[in-house]
Structure 1
């Protein structure tokens, strides 16, 4: 009998997260979708999963809060052993130069983009160690190596931390049957951007001449969670149109 797949996706209500949920459902995953505030969008994403014939729960969560993360995973455990985590919840924080950034905005961005990933990965590893292994996919960004000067260097720094988390944790938990990988998107058409037209504006700088689509990122995530990637861990898979 094939293994049942149950995957927790944080930031699953919109953009890349919603596309990941839909793709995983098509690939046979049950999904627990974590969202921060947009309950309507979360239910729409959950309905997409259910229409594919899979189970889905939408759970409000602040991933930077330890108790909220535990509640998310405790809820997921009600459906069975968690076999996958997609660490996707993130915020840009202040846009502009670092010199003009406010401390509260910087702190919140680091809490969500770094501490949130650490808390979710920690809980996933604890659960997967007890239940026979699994896979974690962290969503990073091409910003981790490009630096995003003049826009959000703090976000780029946070994503560089995600890359380091991926490499280090993959080595730490490989013997427990847990794979840890990372997808680093370039600019993608989502509501993440402060300027909705930014993906169009940056297209000329992308070797492929366009921004990416959420579904293209979801395909990379799905592969890393699949049996086809069974010998892949510690990888940072760049999906950025050549940047």
Structure 2
């Protein structure tokens, strides 16, 4: 069995704006019905749903608060039931803080780990169980970050969560491959989204001398990679982390020799 007949239904968590919104639209364009989730921006989620429906695809919207676990993961089953199946899960919902480790209190730590690691684990587990029961394969795609691979001052909790999600991705890829379910990570660098505070700025007009491409990324550039991995032609790609960062991670030694001040120590 080639496992190319998985359900043309995708759930994208955190898809009320930013990378999640762009991914929902990209998958709808590729022929998927889409489950959209939001934490607080219901108006944004409904706007995204409208765009999906304009493309001729069905869309269901649900609130998903990944700080309320494990019950919040019920939304995956709810959306899959409403849309009549589940072929693709994109774990995009996330949060972060900018606080040195010595100043991070336990409640802050737990919230970031819950939203960025515990939540994706539970959502992926629910999705995998459904895909296994259906027996037609599927796709699980975890949106991590360049900080799955490299640290950043002031982002201890975020880096710990994203690093953990990166390794969880690889383990699930091993466990699910024989059932035609691929599991991959997509690791964005700086992308012009609400989370980075520059969603209203054209990234092509912003200078980033420390990034080889020279600018931040556009959410659609991340969504295009997700859509590729979600398609049937990506059946032999699993357990990989697809970095979408304009070359940022290539700059470690170069930054070490060319930084002119100690400003980086302050995050």
Q: Report if TM-score (shorter chain) is over 0.5.
A: yes
Match of 1:136 in 2: 140
Deviation at 1:143, TM superposition (A): 1.3
Deviation at 1:203, TM superposition (A): 1.5
Gaps of 5+ in 2: 249-267
Deviation at 1:193, TM superposition (A): 2.4
Deviation at 1:202, TM superposition (A): 7.5
Deviation at 1:182, TM superposition (A): 0.7
CA distance in 2, matches of 1:201, 1:28: 33
TM-score normalised to structure 1 length: 0.93
**1:203 aligned counterpart, secondary structure:** coil
Gaps of 5+ in 1: none
CA distance in 1, matches of 2:128, 2:34: 17
CA distance in 2, matches of 1:71, 1:89: 13
TM-score normalised to structure 2 length: 0.85
Please list the CA deviations of residues 179-225 of structure 1 after superposition, one character each: whole Å capped at 9, or x if unmatched: 1011000000001026878x888822111101100000000000000
Cα-Cα RMSD: 2.0
Assess if the C-alpha contact under 8 Å between 1:61 and 1:72 holds in 2. no
**1:42 aligned counterpart, secondary structure:** helix
Match of 1:205 in 2: 210
Deviation at 1:27, TM superposition (A): 0.6
My pick for the range that moved more, 48-57 or 97-106, is: 97-106
Match of 2:239 in 1: 234
CA distance in 1, matches of 2:102, 2:5: 53
Q: Which runs of 4+ in 1 moved over 4 A?
A: 1-4, 194-197, 199-202
**2:142 aligned counterpart, secondary structure:** strand
- Higher CA-based Rg: 2
Assess if the C-alpha contact under 8 Å between 1:33 and 1:59 holds in 2. yes
CA distance in 1, matches of 2:125, 2:7: 22
Equivalent residue pairs, number: 240
Please list the CA deviations of residues 49-81 of structure 1 after superposition, one character each: whole Å capped at 9, or x if unmatched: 011110001100123422221133223222211
Deviation at 1:139, TM superposition (A): 0.3
**2:122 aligned counterpart, secondary structure:** helix
